[in-house]
């Protein structure tokens, strides 16, 4: 049985972002979301990303990702 609590968990929404592309702000570099990371003590979720320009992989907060524009 699916409840509203299971549907709103950030982990479920964040998994759907894996494989998508975003940009740091309006003119920053493009990055790909490559995985789901750890949950921070205050509840924010980290995502693993890869920056297209440099190939660098790092963790970036889901809150910040959702503020960044989608890359088309």
Domain edges within the chain: 4-67
Q: What is the pLDDT of residue 72?
A: 78
The DSSP-derived string for 25-61 is: TTTS-EEEEEEEEEEPTTSPEEEEEEETTT--EEEEE
- CATH, range 4-67: 2.30.30
Write out pLDDT tens, residues 20-42: 999 999 999 999 999 999 999 99
Query: pTM for the full model?
Result: 0.80
Give how far Cα 22 sits from Cα of 45, 47, 48, Å: 17, 12, 13
């Amino acid at each position: 049985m699916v409840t509203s609590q299971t549907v709103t968990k950030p982990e479920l929404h964040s998994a759907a972002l894996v494989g998508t592309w975003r940009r740091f702000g309006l003119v920053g570099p493009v990055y790909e979301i490559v995985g789901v990371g750890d949950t921070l003590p205050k509840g924010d979720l980290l995502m693993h990303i890869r920056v297209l320009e440099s190939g660098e992989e790092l963790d970036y907060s889901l809150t910040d990702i959702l503020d960044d524009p989608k890359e088309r």
